[in-house]
Amino acid sequence: MPLMKIENAIPVFLLLCAIRLGGETLAPGSEPEIDRAFSRLYNFDFAGAHSIIDKFVAANPANPMGYSVRASAYLFGELDRLGILEGEFFTDDRKIADKKKLKPDPGVREKLFRAVEDAQVRARAILEGNADNQNALFAMCITYGIVTDYVALVEKKQLGSLNHVKNSTGFAHRLLKVNPQFYDAYLTTGLTEYLIGSLPFFVRWFVKIDEIQGSKTQGIQNLELVARSGRYLKPFARILLSIAYLREKRPKDAKKELTELVRDFPENPLLRKELEKVTASIARGM
């Protein structure tokens, strides 16, 4: 199969493989700034998230977590500005595959990749002394995912992003071997399982990721685990579940997730808009 044809067949594989943020298993409230930054991020208050995380980084310059959240805030803001976070984008493979050029903000791109580098440099330094450090492993996982999303969804270089997907998933598996109860990390493995399982067989033949079987059922189960037990990623898992449920023709389940997300993050206009769309489609019997 020609390479370009494969590229056109795999757009669904790139469904927000990143923005999966978390930290070392910590006592609840041990890093309240990170929790507050996530709350601002899920409410689409990007400026508020940056303000909080800038103070955290200033007080904790060696912690890769702060830079990872900073990179995530840049990515979320740019995806929102470009209209990529609309639910229809992720439920219609043709829109993901569309090669129409977007107009990314070069200043945001520079800041995003600088934050990724800042996180990875610090994470690698920690891992040299302790290969099992959970915070550092997760920082590597999520920053590779952030680059995946930017390259695939903003720059439209889908095939070029696959190595980042493999790296992100590899670090997630390493982390889960160290601590199987690091629930946020299951978002990475679960999403990759679901997306690989969504690909046609002939495409899966070319896309190989270690320890990933391509089970949509397992993928959804992993996302549901994060939605129940995750710390930072619980809301994001619910967002991804709503998209997966819509793709699997389960609109009532998607509505349930979106209803609770709107309740928890009332300042987020996109969640409310997506809930209205799903509610209307159910009323029409679609």
Taking residues 229-243, what's their average pLDDT?
87
- 88 located within any domain: yes
Question: What digits encode the pLDDT tens for the residues 121-143?
Answer: 999 999 999 999 999 999 998 89
Distance CA 233, CA 141 (A): 14
- 280 located within any domain: no
* Nearest in space to 84 (alpha carbons), one of 14, 141, 31, 143: 14
- 240 located within any domain: no
* Nearest in space to 214 (alpha carbons), one of 201, 230, 223, 227: 201
- 249 located within any domain: no
| Contacts within 8 Å (CB) and 24+ apart, 5-10 | 6/159, 6/203, 6/206, 7/158, 7/159, 8/97, 9/199, 9/200, 9/202, 9/203, 10/158, 10/159, 10/199, 10/203, 10/207
Question: What digits encode the pLDDT tens for the residues 70-100?
Answer: 999 999 899 889 888 775 545 555 555 555 6
pTM value is 0.80
Question: What digits encode the pLDDT tens for the residues 24-76?
Answer: 333 333 478 888 998 999 999 999 999 999 999 999 999 999 999 999 999 98
Total domain count for the chain?
1
Question: What digits encode the pLDDT tens for the residues 165-181?
Answer: 788 888 999 999 999 99
- 209 located within any domain: yes
- 149 located within any domain: yes
- 224 located within any domain: yes
Q: Domain limits at 55? A: 3-232
- 152 located within any domain: yes
